[in-house]
């Protein structure tokens, strides 16, 4: 049985036939898919990777049906997108690589060793604790490759992996794609020089396969966040050293207690003192608290204004102090605890709920995605503001909200693909 079999495959999106009459059988280790923009080559790659569904026809990838056996197939292949931001899921470099192994059921020691080996292989060891969103474009693409290949997939599908990179980083990424002969590679690219490194090439034109053969014969060469939202900051202070489970218990005790303090000037002062005390501990610092409060200033101001109008100054101060303290102390948990540790602690805490049908691992995954989505959304908001300024747009909430909503929804769609590409159902 060949690794890739397609028999009269059609893909129709709305009123458009994106792919039609696709028939091919390939068992080569490295295959290039080339063609002009809009020819359908990326859709073909997504189809093979199980990220798109055929309207009709028969597909087998590594002997599996991508539509009916998607879960099994995703454990055996990895997908790398052109834009690495679309598939970075966890806050730090090491955590993002480790995320790919969460469903593998490996012992902690073996998982740690595999992550370290993968980081070393891709030259990312010195960046292990860095925020993934602070990396350069080339480093992010290397991280995407590292997260994909740490699982040792049988097939790697790379969709324009060098499109956004300069020549030096493009060579580094390409060398990693071809370096390990243990996996098969399906490479979507405009770059004929890169395609030449493959054993065969598929030329896609107007939604169908126009030609298959040696790459040289087929085609000519045809492209974050605010302070609180940067989350985990490596350190060796007292808060960093506390186990994640204990910190969660402390948080669960303090935050409800804050909510039930009596409304008074004294309680407001107590909550302010509490925030100052927890952030004064070495390893965090008062400057971090200040940046956190700047990040949530609109929450504070809106809360204070509403309370002042309807409840009076004393209740306004106390309730605003409650919100500020609760958010700041919750932020402390995220700042001093790797998300992977939080996920493990949450899984253990929620384990008894599995008896009533709640999946602890899925709940922990939701937490991780929520935490890591915050810096991404902050970056999207910054990009929208900069784009509006570049075009002479007005700086108002009304003109900002709709473009931001559009890019946020687009990111949510990309996040779904990223989870699927990392083998998460």
Domains and CATH numbers, the chain: 4-223 (3.40.50.300), 228-412 (no CATH)
Say which residue, 104 or 174, is predicted with more confidence: 174
Q: CA geometry: angle at 349 spanning 344 and 353, to 5°? A: 120
Return the pLDDT at 308. Answer: 80
Q: How confident is the model at residue 186 (pLDDT cuts 50, 70, 90)?
A: very high
CA-CA distance, 353 to 344, in Å (whole number)?
A: 15
* 392 band by pLDDT with thresholds 50, 70 and 90: very low
Assess whether pLDDT exceeds 70 at residue 288. Answer: no
Stronger pLDDT, 186 or 410, i.e. the higher one? 186
Q: DSSP per residue over 279-325, as a string?
A: HSSTTT-HHHHHHHHHHTHHHHHHHHHHHHHHH-HHHHHHHHHHHHH
5-38 residue pLDDT tens: 999 999 998 888 899 999 999 999 999 999 888 8
- pLDDT tier at 372, thresholds 50, 70, 90: low
Which pLDDT value is given to residue 290? 65
Helix (H) or strand (E) holding 375: helix 360-390
Render pLDDT for 65-106 as a digit per residue (tens, 0 to 9). 988 888 888 888 888 888 888 778 788 899 889 888 877 778
Percent of the chain with pLDDT over 90: 17
Q: What angle do CA 165, 168, 169 make, to 5 degrees?
A: 45
Q: Which residue has the tokens 């610092």?
A: 285
The set of residues, in sequence order, having a beta carbon less than 8 Å from that of 364 and lying 6+ positions away, is 342, 343, 344, 346, 347, 350
Q: How far apart, in whole angstroms, are the C-alpha atoms of residue 33 and residue 78?
A: 17
Cβ neighbour number for residue 140 with a 10 Å cutoff: 23
How are strands ordered across the β-sheet holding 56-61? 16-26, 4-13, 56-61
Q: What is the pTM of this model?
A: 0.62
């Amino acid at each position: 049985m060949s690794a890739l079999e397609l028999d009269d495959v059609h893909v129709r999106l709305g009123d458009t036939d994106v792919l039609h009459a696709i028939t091919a059988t390939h068992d080569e280790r490295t295959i290039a898919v080339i063609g002009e923009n809009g020819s359908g080559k990326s859709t073909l790659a997504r189809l093979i990777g199980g990220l798109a569904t055929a309207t009709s026809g028969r597909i087998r990838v590594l002997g599996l049906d991508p539509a009916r056996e998607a879960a099994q197939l995703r454990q055996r292949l990895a997908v790398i997108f052109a834009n690495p931001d679309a598939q970075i899921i966890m806050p730090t470099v090491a955590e993002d690589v480790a995320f790919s192994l969460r469903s593998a059921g490996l012992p902690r020691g073996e998982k740690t060793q595999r992550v370290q080996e993968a980081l070393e292989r891709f030259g990312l060891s010195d960046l292990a604790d860095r925020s993934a969103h602070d990396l350069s474009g080339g480093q992010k693409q290397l991280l995407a490759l590292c997260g994909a290949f740490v699982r040792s997939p049988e097939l790697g599908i790379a969709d324009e992996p060098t499109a956004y990179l300069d020549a030096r980083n493009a060579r580094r990424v390409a060398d990693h794609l071809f370096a390990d002969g243990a996996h098969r590679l399906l490479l979507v690219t405009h770059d004929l020089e890169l395609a030449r490194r493959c054993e065969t090439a598929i030329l896609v034109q107007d939604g169908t396969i126009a030609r298959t053969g040696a790459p040289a014969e087929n085609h000519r060469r045809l492209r974050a966040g605010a302070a609180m939202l940067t989350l985990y900051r490596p350190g060796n202070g007292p808060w960093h050293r506390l186990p994640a489970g204990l910190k969660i218990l402390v948080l669960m005790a303090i935050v409800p207690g804050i909510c039930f303090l009596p409304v008074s000037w004294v309680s407001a002062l107590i909550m302010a003192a509490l925030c100052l005390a927890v952030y004064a501990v070495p390893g965090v610092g008062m400057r971090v608290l200040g940046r956190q409060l700047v990040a949530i200033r609109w929450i504070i101001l809106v809360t204070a204004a509403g309370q002042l109008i309807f409840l009076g100054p004393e209740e306004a101060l106390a309730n605003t102090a409650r919100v500020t303290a609760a958010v700041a102390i919750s932020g402390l948990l995220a700042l001093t605890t790797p998300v992977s540790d939080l996920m493990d602690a949450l899984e253990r805490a929620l384990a008894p709920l599995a008896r009533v049908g709640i999946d602890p691992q899925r709940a922990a995954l939701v937490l991780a995605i929520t935490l890591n989505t915050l810096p991404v959304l902050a970056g999207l908001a910054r990009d929208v503001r900069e784009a509006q300024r570049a075009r002479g747009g007005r700086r108002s909430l009304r003109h900002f909200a709709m473009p931001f909503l559009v890019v946020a929804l687009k990111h949510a769609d990309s996040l779904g693909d990223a989870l699927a590409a990392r083998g998460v159902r």
